[in-house]
Structures are given as structure tokens and as C-alpha cells.
Amino acid sequence: MQDIVIRKAKPKDSRAFLKLVRELAKFERLKPPSESGKRRLVQDTFRTKRLKLLLAFSGRVPLAYALYFFTYSSFLAKPTLYLEDLFVLETYRGQGIGSRMFEMLIREARRLHCGRIEWAVLTWNSKAIKFYEGIGAHQLKEWHYYRLDESRISKLARKGI
């Protein structure tokens, strides 16, 4: 296998990115994005730049990606790098690709003076949990995450609270 290159994604990487997103959906046992969802992902990553994306390649073969964006902490008065996805194809796990990508995210957070990095991990993903705890991350026990899905948002927007 050729050397692995990790870099910021370019618009020409859209197909490789979407292929990896489909693989993540399989891994997480979820439905992949619809055609319109794929278009929004590409647009939000490369046109509106709401999302940031790192890709790992061996030659032209996409191996992994990290998708992230920024939120803000009013108490720290600093940005937070929020890691939405960090995914490595199963065949390439255990080769340090995910660790290298995470190191790049740490450097990016430091460069931008972020007060923290946050992410969510599925409770059954024990390998990821072991990695994150191994680098000193801690599970937040004092917070519960809540979610309103798109249909509920629409109902609330129409009817109010």
C-alpha cells in the first residue's frame, strides 16, 4: 500500500467523501443520505463552507474522513470544534489513520484558539470509546443530549410551543 495522505478536502473529492459517508451509514446501521441529502452535504462542505472535511487517501483510494464544524461556548468565550464524524474503512483500521486525523483536528483547534473539542460516540462503539478515553477525553455525565427531528421542528414552527 502506498503512503497514506491526509489533507483538507477539495470539491473534486465529493464522490470519495460520499462513498465514505455511505460506508459509515452501513457501519452505524443507518440509512445513507438521500440524493438531495448528498447534494446538501457537498454544498455545505464546499460552497457554503458550513462544514470542514479532512480525507485520508492511499493513492486515489479514499480510506477515511473527519467532518467537523464550529460551535461557541458563551462561558469560555471561545469556539468549540465539534467533530461530527470520524470514520475509517474497516480494512484500514488499526493503522493509525484515525489517530493521525484526530491529531490534525487537535492542531486545528489549537490554531483557532478553541476552548474545547466535543463529539458524540455510539454506546456500542467500544473501540472508539477506548481510543478517546486513552487520550484523556472524558464522558460528560452531567449533560443529556436532546434532539428535535425535522418533522417535530416543522410542527413546532407551525403550531408554536
Active centre residues (catalytic): 132
- Tally the residues of the chain: 161
User: Amino acid letter at 115?
Assistant: G
Cβ 94 vs Cβ 56: under 8 Å = no
**3-class SS of residue 127:** helix
For β-strands 116-119 and 78-88, DSSP reports them as parallel
Question: What's the grid cell of residue 42?
Answer: 457537498
